Amino acid sequence: MTGNNGPRIKIRPARSDDLVLIVEMLAADTIGGHSDSADPAAADGYRRAFERIAESPNEEIHVAEWDGIVVGTFTTALLTTLSSRGARHMLVQTVQVRSDFRGKGIGHEMMKCCIELAREAGAASLDLRTNKLRKDAHRFYERLGFGQTHYGYKLSLE
């Protein structure tokens, strides 16, 4: 999928050979607090996670390319709930754009892609998870029409 910015931005499903670049983006994130690491000793855990997601019919990792260079990523998961009369909802998370490529419309194109994927899947909503410390990202998502409708809580099981 190529966005309105011409051939510079392309969104596509991630391939296994993208994994190192995706992990490097996640590891460079100082706000997320996820302890991601580009250390080769951590590679097996990321590889196993990538394989589990690739095998799932309801999850997918995408990357954004800028002139063929992987500069962004996001993960989607399609959920069906009993509430809302059994509606399907798409969840998007792990949204990341390389810091040196921010402000070029990549995040906007990634979110447009997410919306399109959710509509194609028949989802009633596109739900977004973002760290509460990401104030700039919150303003960005609000400009795109996302609204804060729920509180989120997390219980760490590690």
Q: Helix (H, G, I), strand (E, B), or coil: what is residue 90? A: strand
Q: Give me the pLDDT at residue 29, please.
A: 82
The Cα angle at residue 70 between residues 66 and 74, in degrees rounded to 5: 105
Q: Which residue bears the tokens 């690491």? A: 37
Query: Which amino acid is it at 137?
Result: A
Handedness of CA 80, 86, 88, 89 (dihedral sign): negative
Look at strands 125-128 and 59-66 and give their pairing: unpaired
The verdict on pTM exceeding 0.95 is no
Low-confidence ranges of the chain (pLDDT < 70): 1-7, 32-34
Q: Give me the pLDDT at residue 133, please.
A: 86
d(CA 88, CA 86): 7
Q: Which domains does the chain have, with CATH numbers?
A: 6-143 (3.40.630.30)
